[in-house]
Structure 1
Amino acid sequence: MEAFEISEELRGLIAALPDLPGVYIMKDNSGAVIYVGKAVSLKNRVRQYFQSPKTQSAKTAAMVKRIARFETIVTDNEVEALILECNLIKKHRPHYNILLKDDKNFPYVRIDMREDFPRVEIVRRRENDGAQYYGPFVSSGALREVLDVAGRMFPLRTCKKDIARAIARGERPCLNYQIGRCMGPCTGGVDPADYRQALECIVGLISGREGEFEAAVRDRMHAAAEALDFERAARLRDTLRALEELSQKQKMATDAGVERDVFALHTEEGVALVQALFIRGGKLLGSEHFELQWEGEESPEELMAQFLRQYYADAPALPKEVLVNAAPEDPPLTEAYLRGLCGARVRLAVPKRGKKKALVDLAKSNAAQSALRLLIRARTDFERHEGALIQLADALELPAPPARIEAFDISNTQGTDSVASMVVFINGRPSPKDYRRFRIKTVEGADDFGSMREVVGRRMRRAKEKSAGFADLPGLLLIDGGKGQLNAALQALSETGCPDVPAAGIAKRMEEVFLPGREAALVLKRNSAALHLLQRVRDEAHRFAVTYHRRVRTGRTIASELDRIPGIGKKRRTELLRRYKSVKGVSAAGVEELADVEGMDRRSARAVFDHFHGTPKDE
């Protein structure tokens, strides 16, 4: 006897499952990805979902009920399946997968060694561009402090200038060169070998090898003193002191030169987080915690495995050793996954004694404190937001506190480029993933009432169609505007068969609240939590609408400017903007540069150049 009602489409998909390793992607009726998993045997693993629910958790049973179809991708082995699974989870962020709530991007140092005079850049994302990346660094402030100290000794360039072109044109060096904060390779007077030597010293510093950098500073300080250049010697002495002060801020954690990450998982009252300690060059560079999306069903082993896979998915470099307080599910597979990412063995261990155990215990202690702070903050936030929602329900005479509030606003410029925004607040907090934007399609000119009627109607029709992101109706539909806008929204609710959705309007000038069927506006106390919540929601809807309107207007302006150029169609316009980012960038380019853009030729490049600079006159 089947435990679930299985559609004919699902029956066919299940029957066709291969007995091979790979990844399966579960989708709901709207086509949204709700779960991604890996399997040694796709046939055996996927079939398990559609068998007796008695052995399934509540979360899994709820997910299976939403599965409308699934896709599979066959891989050569389980490690390949694991890598693909992690990439798909990061791409789709499925509702039923364990996810990192804090998808933080720590700063890295980027150096492109292919340049003659490489720059030292701080970036937040690692690109597959052939450059070398160092990090991650927990604190961008501390990283900038390190680079500032390094810059006093070795003032490398920070500009994006084309050095060869600058030298050929004899361009004037920038202000940094004038004040001694750049060696000035654009002057043509800097030996690339000397520049590289300075760069290697900075690389040693950010890699945790302060000794090499200190030795270089001391050598130059003594050389300056022997040459009776006491002013330079004093500056180098100050640099050395600053470096020593910086080093003292970092606690010696383990053997010199060791690179190690330490992770401790802590679960308490529905909170699951991992505390991380980052050790580079034998020093504890910092600590950070990551909260996991967790509903209390997954084991510590499952949580740790998912965390490690997601955390290291985009890491430019991995340490030689990872210490954890809970072994991940299938440790050999996780080690193989990490080895596949970096091309070298990464040792994964749960230490039982000694210095390594002390590091894990330190992470555990910090994890417990981080969890306590999160719980206290969550309770405080809940009480504050819950109080505001209860007060709002009482003031507006709603049937219940509105767990979901949707707000709409219209934005245009004298009736052109009309757009609308829909923002969503869940339990009093913004939920950006549920925000939606609309272009007004059926209304001409500056008709805010007609525009509001259109957009609310479109939203409610999508609810009837069970479209993704629109299936849940709001407990309160808030309109940015007065009676006219509210009445337009009410008309749309009636026309779409949703007259019972509670609605209200809030006017900006007097902060008056308008309700259906009431002639007089409701004036809430200025210091009331209910009014402050309405203002936050209304202001967010306004911000989101204005931002979208500006983007649409700017895009139209850019398009119209380039569309006026003979021979420049949509494809060439897109490629020009991709290369130069703006019309200003396009206008500053020369004919040869423009001709080098994909899809362009010399004739079209000349047309673009002449459009901005005028056709040269015959002499």
Structure 2
Amino acid sequence: MADPSTYRPAPGAIPTSPGVYKFRDAHGRVIYVGKAKSLRPRLSSYFQDLAGLHPRTATMVTTAASVEWTVVTTEVEALQLEYSWIKEFDPRFNVKYRDDKSYPELAVTLNEEYPRVQVMRGAHRKGVRYFGPYGHAWAIRETVDLLLRVFPVRTCSNGVFKRASQVGRPCLLGYIGKCAAPCVGKVSADEHRALAADFCDFMAGRTGNYLRRLEEQMQEAAAEMEYEKAARLRDDIGALKRAMEKNAIVLADATDADLLAVAEDELEAAVQIFHVRGGRVRGQRGWVTDKVEDVDTAGLVEHALQQLYGGASAEERSESVPREVLVPALPEPVEPVRDWLSGLRGSQVDLRVPQRGDKKDLMATVQRNAQQALALHKTKRASDLTTRSRALQEIADALELDSVPLRIECFDISHLQGEDVVASMVVFEDGLARKSEYRRFQIKGFEGQDDVRSMHEVISRRFRRYLQEREQTGEWAVPEAEEPVGPDGVVGADRPGPDGAEAPAGPVDPDTGRPRRFAYPPQLLVVDGGQPQVAAARRALDELGIDDVALCGLAKRLEEVWLPGEDDPVVLPRSSEGLYLLQRVRDEAHRFAITYQRNRRSKRLTAGELDSVPGLGETRRQALLKHFGSLKKLRAATVDELCAVPGIGRRTAETVAAALSSRTPAAPAVNTATGEIIDDSADATGPAGDSAADAAPQTAPSQETP
């Protein structure tokens, strides 16, 4: 615990201008970001008697080891910079909202030649028009099914679209009139894009004019005795009205507003947002957060507005920010936030607290939703927080640690019959996965089924980098001249290496605060394995003089916890939360290593097949693999299908087809430990390893020493 007086700046050195400040811990990591209208009084407030500070603020200032600030011109600039730094550094003491669930949205892919309507989740993509979010995916599909009668935009995947184009026959939706069938040329690309634009206009709330136009066309058709056309238009109008009825009218027509409500207690807060467009509720979403800093309702509202609108792309901002934003309490001061929202929209935004009428009544409904969301969240998470704390305490007690291990690192080795040996490092902080700090290693020095030697090497490399960077300047600095991938062959998550893989992101850069490579030592090091692996890891730590990191191993067969130098394992009860946490850490390391090993093997095998094809260089090899997705599909392709790939002429296509057809596919590899046949047809164009957030658990094809 640091004494704030040791890093308190001289009062006269702090400017009185608007600005943004950062607190850093002893490792240089940014732990808190704040803004102030005047930096001097705000920063001075952190260095008063600890007894007078809020408990969370006192924890923050005693965890910090330094403070720095950046002066800006206006409070709007301070607001923008604060949001950018919170998003970049992910400080542990800032309020960070997280969705209480993954909300589906209706998306129209206007960035494609033939736009597609589909359900999407996750981060927004450039060039895609989004509507929602909705509470359930089935609600989107019901709405789309009604609208396709009037706006027959394609909903099929790219694979189905391409296949229909090749065979010259549309899918079922094309036959029943719910798709304009651009795949077979029934409409041109421009006509189909116009349909997609009308679909987007209707979903954006511009419904009145379109319905009136259809009614006029229906009356004209009836007057000219074109009764079939009039009946079809009548049914189209009915379908549109049924789609509109799914969104209740809550405010006057043409009202565009976002209503935000907050429910909170001393520890957590829940935010609910209703998106009203054209007087109808078009979407709803909710966030929850731990109140790790001393913040009131107005502060929570400001952070929520930053997260809600700050992440929108430039082309989305004018539509994502409505004319009115209704909140339960105004940020203090309110002018910079209002000016920031107006700048995002490109016109004036009315940010206010509703006082009477329908908007106040709707705000009460949003508030009830927020209170229910907080109650449901606490029901789900109450045992979660308690369980994680109990698990860490059980681990500390079982291993006789001085304190609970807030940062746990786990290492695993993966290979296939001694080839493509790789290792993984996963990080858990406060009992939760810290996926941004996962790392992957290539073991290039040797091949073979020697997990003990591999474990010694990877632990040595991890802590050697830690020591080298710490000792270079006596602080957490980054070497001035550095190769994209170090001589030890580390592959990590933020810089491309010479083989197309990614390089690591470790200690903190003192100028930016970003972690690069292996910045922070763990309190507990876990290896996947038993006594031999633990002994190898202990030997690696001893050789480097590391004596302040606890070490243990978790053996798979009996789930025994092994400590270095001990002949007998520590056996935790099967019902122990500590054992369950160690198992989750070990299984995550195993999954991460397996994913990386499989992708490297798939990439190696695919490249080997195509390397010997005459006249086929690296660019065209990658184009073929990207187009077909796997070597298996490439083998089955015809010469005409190969010619459809950009850059592949008929002569080259004939050469590739002849070379691949003349080879007998290799027998499938079999995992000798499980008898599992390992598929060779994985996507060969993927990265060297799946990202921590997207990789799915897989059955392990590696052989590891228990």
Residues of 2 paired with 1:214 and 1:5: CA distance? Answer: 70
Following superposition of structure 1 onto structure 2, how do residues 44-123 of structure 1 map, counting pairs within 5 Å? 45=39, 49=43, 53-54=47-48, 57-58=57-58, 61-62=61-62, 65-67=65-67, 78-80=75-77, 82-102=79-99, 106-111=103-108, 118-123=115-120
Residues of 2 paired with 1:140 and 1:359: CA distance? Answer: 24
The equivalent of 1:335 in structure 2 is 338
Residues of 1 paired with 2:356 and 2:579: CA distance? Answer: 57
The equivalent of 1:450 in structure 2 is 453
Deviations 1:321-357 (A, max 9, x none): 1100010132221121112112122211112222222
Following superposition of structure 1 onto structure 2, how do residues 351-390 of structure 1 map, counting pairs within 5 Å? 351-390=354-393
Normalising to structure 2: TM-score of the pair? Answer: 0.68
Structure 2 residue 416 is the aligned partner of structure 1 residue 413: yes
Structure 2 residue 468 is the aligned partner of structure 1 residue 424: no
The verdict on how the C-alpha distance between 1:218 and 1:458 changes in structure 2, with shifts beyond 3 A counting, is same
Aligned residues: 590
The equivalent of 1:349 in structure 2 is 352
Q: Which moved more, 1:144-153 or 1:19-28?
A: 19-28
- Three-state SS of the structure 2 residue aligned to 1:66 is strand
The verdict on how the C-alpha distance between 1:559 and 1:36 changes in structure 2, with shifts beyond 3 A counting, is farther
Of structures 1 and 2, the one scoring higher in RCO (CA 8 A, sep 6+) is 2
Contact 2:132 2:284 in 1 (8 A): no
- Residue 535 (structure 1) aligned to one of 583, 590, 607: 583
Following superposition of structure 1 onto structure 2, how do residues 16-415 of structure 1 map, counting pairs within 5 Å? 32-34=29-31, 45=39, 49=43, 53-54=47-48, 57-58=57-58, 61-62=61-62, 65-67=65-67, 78-80=75-77, 82-102=79-99, 106-111=103-108, 118-124=115-121, 125-129=123-127, 132-159=129-156, 171-178=168-175, 180-190=177-187, 199=196, 202-208=199-205, 240=238, 244=242, 250-315=247-312, 316=316, 317=319, 318-393=321-396, 402-415=405-418
The equivalent of 2:502 in structure 1 is none
Q: Give the Å deviation of 1:445.
A: 3.2
Q: Give the Å deviation of 1:531.
A: 3.7
The equivalent of 1:599 in structure 2 is none
Contact 1:490 1:499 in 2 (8 A): no
The verdict on how the C-alpha distance between 1:395 and 1:53 changes in structure 2, with shifts beyond 3 A counting, is closer
- Three-state SS of the structure 2 residue aligned to 1:288 is strand
The equivalent of 1:479 in structure 2 is 527
- Residue 490 (structure 1) aligned to one of 538, 543, 552: 538
The equivalent of 2:438 in structure 1 is 435
- Three-state SS of the structure 1 residue aligned to 2:378 is helix
The equivalent of 2:489 in structure 1 is none
The verdict on how the C-alpha distance between 1:503 and 1:86 changes in structure 2, with shifts beyond 3 A counting, is closer
Q: Which moved more, 1:495-504 or 1:189-198?
A: 189-198
The equivalent of 1:598 in structure 2 is none
Structure 2 residue 557 is the aligned partner of structure 1 residue 509: yes
Q: Give the Å deviation of 1:374.
A: 3.0
Deviations 1:370-393 (A, max 9, x none): 223333433311333344445555
Contact 1:220 1:236 in 2 (8 A): no
Identify the structure with the greater helix proportion.
Answer: 1
Letter in 1 for 2:47: P
Contact 1:146 1:206 in 2 (8 A): no
- Three-state SS of the structure 1 residue aligned to 2:358 is helix
The equivalent of 2:684 in structure 1 is none
The verdict on how the C-alpha distance between 1:26 and 1:155 changes in structure 2, with shifts beyond 3 A counting, is same
Residues of 2 paired with 1:415 and 1:344: CA distance? Answer: 63
- Three-state SS of the structure 1 residue aligned to 2:449 is coil
Unaligned runs of 5+ in 2: 471-475, 477-506, 509-514, 660-706
The verdict on how the C-alpha distance between 1:508 and 1:173 changes in structure 2, with shifts beyond 3 A counting, is same
Residues of 1 paired with 2:190 and 2:539: CA distance? Answer: 74
Q: Give the Å deviation of 1:419.
A: 2.0
Indicate the RMSD between aligned Cα atoms, in angstroms. Answer: 4.9
Q: Which moved more, 1:528-537 or 1:192-201?
A: 192-201
The verdict on how the C-alpha distance between 1:120 and 1:488 changes in structure 2, with shifts beyond 3 A counting, is same
Q: Give the Å deviation of 1:410.
A: 0.7
Q: Give the Å deviation of 1:421.
A: 1.7
The equivalent of 1:612 in structure 2 is 656
Contact 2:26 2:65 in 1 (8 A): no
Unaligned runs of 5+ in 1: 596-601
Residues of 2 paired with 1:23 and 1:399: CA distance? Answer: 37
Name the % identity.
37
- Three-state SS of the structure 2 residue aligned to 1:298 is coil
